[in-house]
């Protein structure tokens, strides 16, 4: 049954994992990058190298302060992960590690695509007179490339990129900036939609915005705070109009 409720004045959207996504996983991206590298030293087993890179990546992003520092430059973060991995293996060959990291970036960016129903959802929200803002963490170059590729800048009144502003989710200033730019005075009159339970749901809810959690894989919420609504895809948002 269609769920009808008071429409928001504005909806704030996350981008990665919500409107656009990669058709190849991080793991497969690194694996293909290593496979494509023709200059690996003879004593390096490719499968072991991939395993070590993935372990190092897991360690690299597990630290909150390091993650916050590097998220604005994904290209350099991949280079750093590869460099540290090679160094741990006793190989000090920056051009080789950078080649693998940059190939991984190339593979990932080539496979990014719109999530089914994303554009239709945005268009129907606009047609309903709802103001739209895009809030995305990450580097200016990588995020703007995706925004331009899919014409998202034409669908949003406001686009806020962490790498351009100097701060991003879960800093409450970014949500307040989005509301101010859309001339929405009360956070309760806005929704935030995204796949990160902390950045896109819990943090904006702490200032009064209603959070819609895009939980495609039905993962468990690790926090005591609950989303206003849980959906499996951005297109399910239309059920609430």
Segments making up each domain of the chain, as ranges: 10-21+113-240, 26-110
Q: What CATH architecture does domain 10-21+113-240 belong to?
A: 3-Layer(aba) Sandwich (3.40)
pLDDT of residue 14: 97
At 73 the pLDDT is 82
Alpha-carbon distance of 222 to 227, in angstroms, equals 12
Strands in the chain per DSSP E: 10-13, 20-22, 112-114, 131-136, 158-161, 190-194, 210-214, 229-231
What is the structure's pLDDT at 180? 98
- Alpha-carbon distance of 161 to 176, in angstroms, equals 14
Residues of the chain scoring pLDDT < 70: 1-5
Instruction: Identify the pLDDT of residue 93.
Output: 84
Q: What is the pLDDT of residue 64?
A: 79
Q: Give the relative orientation of helices 26-36 and 94-110 as an angle to the nearest 10 degrees.
A: 130
pLDDT of residue 72: 74
Strand, helix or coil for residue 15:
coil
pLDDT digits (tens, 9 = 90+) for 122-149: 999 999 999 999 999 988 888 999 999 9
Per-residue confidence (pLDDT) for residue 236, from 0 to 100: 96
Query: In this structure, which long-range contacts are made by residues 21-26, counting pairs with CB atoms below 8 Å and at least 24 apart in sequence?
Result: 21/112, 21/113, 21/115, 22/108, 22/111, 22/112, 22/113, 23/111, 23/112, 23/113, 24/107, 24/108, 24/111, 26/54, 26/57, 26/108
CA-to-CA separations, 182 to 12, 53, 124, 145, 188, in angstroms, rounded: 10, 42, 18, 24, 14
Token pair, residue 88, equals 């741990």
């Amino acid at each position: 049954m269609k769920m009808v409720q008071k429409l928001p004045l504005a909806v704030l959207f996350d981008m990665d994992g919500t409107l656009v996504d990669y058709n190849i996983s991080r793991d497969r991206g690194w694996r293909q990058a290593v496979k494509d590298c023709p200059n690996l030293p003879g004593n390096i087993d490719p499968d072991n190298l991939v395993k070590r890179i993935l372990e190092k990546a897991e360690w690299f992003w597990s630290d909150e302060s390091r993650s916050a520092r590097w998220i604005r430059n994904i290209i350099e973060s991949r280079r750093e992960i590869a460099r540290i991995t090679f160094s741990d293996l006793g190989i000090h060959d920056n051009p080789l590690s950078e080649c693998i990291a940059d190939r991984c970036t190339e593979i990932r960016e080539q496979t990014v695509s719109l999530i089914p129903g994303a554009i239709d959802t945005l268009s129907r929200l606009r047609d309903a007179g709802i103001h739209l803002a895009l809030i995305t963490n990450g580097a200016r170059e990588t995020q703007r490339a995706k925004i331009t590729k899919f014409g998202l800048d034409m669908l949003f009144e406001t686009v806020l990129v962490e790498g351009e502003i100097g701060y991003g989710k879960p800093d409450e200033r970014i949500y307040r900036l989005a509301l101010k730019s859309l001339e929405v005075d009360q956070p309760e009159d806005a929704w935030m939609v995204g796949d990160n339970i902390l950045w896109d749901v819990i943090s904006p809810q702490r200032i009064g915005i209603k959070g819609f959690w895009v939980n495609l894989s039905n993962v468990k919420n690790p926090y005591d705070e609950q989303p206003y609504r849980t959906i499996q895809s951005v297109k399910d948002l239309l059920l609430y109009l």
